[in-house]
Amino acid sequence: MSSIKQEASRCLKCKNARCAAHCPVSTQIPLITEMFLNGDIRKAGEMLFLNNPLSAVTSVICPHERNCTGHCVLGIKGSPVEFYRVEEYIFRFYLETMDIPEIEKNGIKVAVAGAGPAGITMSLLLLLKGYDVTLFESQDNIGGVLRYGIPPFRLPRDLLDMYKDIMIRMGLHFRPNTRIGANIMIEDLFPDGYKAIFVSTGTGRPNKLGLLGETLGHVHFAVDYLKSPEAFNLGNKVAIVGAGNVAIDAARTAIRRGHSHVTILHFMGYDDMSANHDEIEMAELDGVEFVHYAQAVRILEDAVRCVRVRKIENEDGSVSFEEDYTETFDVPAESVIIAIGQGPGADIRTSGVKLTQKGLFDVNEWGETDTPGVFAAGDIVSGPKTVVDAVAFTKKVFGRMEEYLEKNA
């Protein structure tokens, strides 16, 4: 692997950079790289921070093969520039050495509900503009899915601790273990002087399979397991149903906690997996076994019963998948982990804000709800998506929130 400087030197500084064009937050990759090579690492870090406050996170867990790296012109005939490595180095240095700027406070109070990626981003953007921000979080620390859903071997916890320290130093009021929609209602906030409320409470409720055996004692949901894996005794054979990033994280965590054999069951093929390709490759290196074209139909005391799935190429060129109930097989499992996505928590339904049929916040293209002064972004709006997508939409919502506050504060 090349050094960070060597990797940065490979950048062609394209005038119409495809990498930047395919970055959801439009990071000026050629310019950042040039600054870094010229020794302006602090200036490069500041530019990253102002464009994407979560650069330290997205540089580590972003699906780079779909965004910047996957569209680098050098990748057409050779190896693309791994800009995320350069970005990670620059931004970690920036966070570790950051001087909190002198910010003139404007005295306007804003509430942020949920300290996940969108909530952290919005809090930082508001703090930089002088707003008095209170961040409410249902857990005991900031991070949301970053802390409680992504294992530390993928995303170091010290990054999140640095963000918390920086926000506190910028004047953030942090209220942990406080769930908006349960302990405190959204409508309770306005009488206490908050002029706007931003909701980013995520989708922490796991989806269920709806199969016989799902309530047995050896069956667990991945989002629950990843919050505190040390609380679970899974045994030596673990089966995981699902093939997204959460399933991969659960599998790699289980192996690291001493479980000798982990099998992922996926009802489609390898190329149809929704997880990042890099993470799939790392899981394979860790020893995770993948069983594709397998549909779980029942959970037994010591196995997951599956039927074979057939891939069908239709006359119109489309592809479909069909279960073949004549071919049944059991995958041995002392424990079963279900990882087939998440939805919004039930308590948020009592907030009085209009929801979609899926239980998500119903917002317009600017993140505005039908309740004046209440905005939302992140998974509670879009359903589970990438961190960088959450940052991109949160920046857009921030612009509209500022317009609202200028008129109504």
Closest CA to 371 of 361, 356, 383, 381: 361
Of 338, 364, 390, at which residue does a domain stop?
338
Do residues 220 and 334 both lie within one domain? yes
Question: pLDDT tens digits for 303-333?
Answer: 999 999 999 988 888 889 999 999 999 999 9
- Whether residue 217 is found in the same domain as residue 325: yes
**C-alpha distances in Å from residue 355, one per residue of 179, 362, 395:** 18, 5, 22
Question: Domain boundary residue among 34, 63, 97?
Answer: 97
Domain-terminating residue out of 338, 362, 378: 338
Instruction: Give the pLDDT confidence score for residue 351 in this predicted structure.
Output: 61
Specify the higher pLDDT residue, 353 or 244.
Answer: 244
pLDDT at 359 over 90: no
**Is there a domain that residue 102 lies in?**
no
| 403 located within any domain | yes
Query: What pLDDT does 18 receive?
Result: 96
Residue 224 is assigned to a structural domain of this protein: yes
- Please tell me whether residue 368 adopts helix, strand or coil conformation: strand
Is pLDDT at 216 greater than 60 in this prediction? Answer: yes
Residues 121 and 86 grouped into a single domain: no
- Residue 346 pLDDT grade (very low, low, confident, very high; cuts 50, 70, 90): low
In this structure, is residue 104 part of a structural domain? no
Q: In terms of domains, do 235 and 262 share one?
A: yes
Residue 173 lies in a domain: yes
- Regarding whether 383 and 237 lie in a shared domain, the answer is no
Q: Are residues 286 and 324 in the same domain?
A: yes
Please choose, from the candidates 283, 231, 276, the residue with its C-alpha nearest in 3D space to the C-alpha of residue 262: 283
What number is the average pLDDT over the span 113-125? 97
Domain hosting residue 35, numbered range? 4-97
> In terms of domains, do 259 and 375 share one?
no
pLDDT band at 352 (very low <50, low <70, confident <90, very high): low
Output the pLDDT for position 347.
55
354 and 330 in a single domain? The answer is no
When pLDDT is averaged across residues 115-127 and rounded to a whole number, the result is: 98
Tokens 């916040």 sit on residue: 361
The dihedral sign for the CA sequence 384, 387, 393, 395: positive
- pLDDT digits 0-9 by tens, 226-270: 999 999 999 999 999 999 999 999 999 999 998 779 999 999 999
Split into its structural domains, the chain has a count of: 3
Q: The domain spanning residue 238 has which CATH number?
A: 3.50.50.60
pLDDT at 207 over 60: yes
E strands, 90-172, where?
A: 109-113, 132-136
- Whether residue 49 has pLDDT greater than 90: yes
